[in-house]
Structure 1
């Protein structure tokens, strides 16, 4: 007889394991099924290990600037194997922590491949054996994987996905990164800082295309100062693989040029893991590899929910986690608020960092808002100068009529930490008056957030 649960979660990434824990906290009998790693892609092959590697490149970059800070550092180098070992160790530590949390909350963990053969039923296959489970509520949290374009498929030797780039067998000398979203730019930033001759190709008219245009342009200038080659409105049409080299056919401005690289990283987006789940037979609607849901992550099939990357943009771990909590509370009989994509911050951990929340200036105008825009440069901030990080910009967009904060956009040191101040402000429906009357501590980078708000109304003090 199949075991019965109140809630079964398929996938133990940042959406799935959080949903399982919250469900258990609310008194539900919960099982979570994972086919590979507790913590999912984010913890094992995404967010965490990449940040560990980017921290290494940041420290390496700062070591080369030692003289600016009155320090002496000679013979600076790195051990790529040790860099990777540290990154993998951190991922392993945190994956173990997820297992501990699930056990602590009495969540049943089952390792295996899951499918949903019928409403309320889950089939799990592991080591050639299959078991049947039952639950009135099933949560799909299967995540996503790297998109691969025809002819540009990864081989792990010359052409890499993010997984290969996290455990490199060698240091690239001449690197091509296809795609300039968060994943592409972070790897470009890491390898460029360690000395790779790096080229980024972006099909859109600017890099970091989801960001505010002004922020993208600022970031581009900084990347080019660091030696990167940026090619926008360009497309890699073909890769000819040879012995130790790849010849890329790059189309730009109506013509195709050929350029040789020893390594290519493909970062052209993701596709949802929807295969093999039995969704078509259940009547679940799938659009471009992502499950279609309502604002509370319901699929339209009674008792079946989808959260995180499988449920579409924004493809962010913190969005998945919040959706997991929301769905668990909904299943337990609560009435949680829907997750608003406009109030979820996006962060890119390149050098300089990029972070944003809400509407860009262009989006606000397109939606018909009469806006006020404030800006404040890092060069006007004492803490930024003391840190040796004077290059950056904070930009805020307000509704001129109501004073509502429509969006905030940043580029510069530590902006992935600063952005949360504006996220909280949006959640609390803060107006410009509230932000103007808030006292920011001195000397901090956060003072620039205050000045940017003041600037929107022509009241900036320090610039």
Structure 2
């Protein structure tokens, strides 16, 4: 006889485990199925351990530039094995935390590979053992994996995905990063600060192509100043590996081919949803043309009682988006009166490079394309006392408003700690505040957040300090 639950969650990443917890809080009997480690890719091989690595490279950068702060540091060096070990310990600590949360909320954790066999039914395979489960509702939260280049399959030796790049067996000397989204730029920043010679290749005409054009331009200049080589409107057509390195054939915008040699390559050209072998075809769940599972604003698929959340459903591929979708789906299943649909326009995006990048809402170009008449404000870090005191005077804050209504259409930041600052604008959009509300808000001094205020003032010709 099958074990029966109110809800089964397939996958325990930041979408899956959060959905399970919220459902349990609402009184449902919940099981979660995981084939690897609780916390999924984000916690174990993505968001968290990469930030641990980036923190190390940030401190290493400051140590090498101690004289700028009136300090001295000699014989500055690092132990790559210990750098990686710290990152893995951070991930392990949080994995244990999720395990504790499952116990606290009385969620049954089932280790193994889950597959839908019929509506409301799922079989988990653990070695030679099979366990049949039944539930009134199932949430698919299987996530995604790194996309391989057809001519450059990751081997973990010379050609790396993000997963290999987090546990490098050796320090690259000359690194090629293919792709300049958040993952590519973060790893480029990390390895550059740790001493590697880094080249970024991007097929689009600018790096971080989903960001506002001014942010992309600023980042290109900032990374170039750090001696990262950026090749935009460029592709890689061939990669040959050897025991000692990699030979890449790079195709420029004009079609010119050149061969360049590197010690290692990181492929960061997007992700592929994990939809294979989970039984979607057996129950009739429909994917879109890119094989992501189609859902409505509550996470419901075309099959009654089956929901999907997170990376498996498509962009934006962000942990916090997955978590929020998990809460929405759980509340919808439980019949919670306060459940609200997802508004993807209020999901912030963050890149934890040096400098950092953060944004929410429309870019200036998107707002113009949507037909808005705009008021745009921009305030530089150099005009902020706290930024100067920190020695982080490069960057800016940009705000985009509808000129007629005062609606905050978008906010875009580049500079130190902007991944923390962006939440202020996220809250502002969620609460539908206008330019007047933001202008009348008091910001503490001295803080970096004062630039957020000044940017709003600047959009209406009222900036005080610039």
TM range (shorter): over 0.9
Alignment of 1:90-105 (within 5 A): 90-105=90-105
| 1:398 pairs with one of 375, 381, 401 | 401
Distance (whole Å) between structure 2 residues aligned to residue 429 and residue 355 of structure 1: 19
Q: Secondary structure at the match of 1:406?
A: strand
- Is 1:88 matched up with 2:88? yes
1:295-328 CA-to-partner distances (Å, cap 9, x unmatched) read 1111110000000000111100000001101111
1:330-351 CA-to-partner distances (Å, cap 9, x unmatched) read 1111241111111000000000
Q: CA deviation at 1:282?
A: 1.7
Distance (whole Å) between structure 1 residues aligned to residue 462 and residue 114 of structure 2: 58
TM-score between both structures, scaled by the size of structure 2? 0.99
Match of 1:39 in 2: 39
Q: Secondary structure at the match of 2:371?
A: coil
1:373-412 CA-to-partner distances (Å, cap 9, x unmatched) read 0000000000000000000010000000000000000000
Q: CA deviation at 1:152?
A: 1.4
Q: Secondary structure at the match of 1:286?
A: coil
The two structures, once aligned, show a CA RMSD in angstroms of 0.6
Distance (whole Å) between structure 2 residues aligned to residue 22 and residue 75 of structure 1: 50
Q: CA deviation at 1:242?
A: 2.0
- Is 1:460 matched up with 2:453? no
1:435-459 CA-to-partner distances (Å, cap 9, x unmatched) read 0000000000000000000000000
Distance (whole Å) between structure 2 residues aligned to residue 338 and residue 198 of structure 1: 42
Distance (whole Å) between structure 2 residues aligned to residue 284 and residue 8 of structure 1: 16
Q: Secondary structure at the match of 1:106?
A: coil
Distance (whole Å) between structure 1 residues aligned to residue 104 and residue 300 of structure 2: 28
Distance (whole Å) between structure 2 residues aligned to residue 350 and residue 72 of structure 1: 25
Structure 1: 4+ residue segments shifted above 4 A: none
1:237-279 CA-to-partner distances (Å, cap 9, x unmatched) read 0001123111100101211111000100000000100001111
Structure 2 unpaired stretches of 5+: none
Match of 1:158 in 2: 158
Alignment of 1:237-276 (within 5 A): 237-252=237-252, 253-276=254-277
Distance (whole Å) between structure 2 residues aligned to residue 65 and residue 448 of structure 1: 26
Alignment of 1:290-439 (within 5 A): 290-335=292-337, 336-439=339-442
Q: Secondary structure at the match of 2:295?
A: coil
Query: Given that residues 148 and 154 in structure 2 are in contact (C-alpha distance below 8 angstroms), is that contact kept between their aligned partners in structure 1?
Result: yes
1:120-170 CA-to-partner distances (Å, cap 9, x unmatched) read 001100021111110010000000000012111111111001111000000
Distance (whole Å) between structure 2 residues aligned to residue 76 and residue 34 of structure 1: 42
Match of 1:19 in 2: 19
Q: Secondary structure at the match of 2:388?
A: helix
Distance (whole Å) between structure 1 residues aligned to residue 186 and residue 98 of structure 2: 25
Distance (whole Å) between structure 1 residues aligned to residue 25 and residue 340 of structure 2: 19
Alignment of 1:273-284 (within 5 A): 273-284=274-285
- Is 1:138 matched up with 2:138? yes
Query: Given that residues 116 and 282 in structure 2 are in contact (C-alpha distance below 8 angstroms), is that contact kept between their aligned partners in structure 1?
Result: no
Query: Given that residues 6 and 29 in structure 2 are in contact (C-alpha distance below 8 angstroms), is that contact kept between their aligned partners in structure 1?
Result: yes
The number of residues matched between the two structures is 463
Match of 2:219 in 1: 219
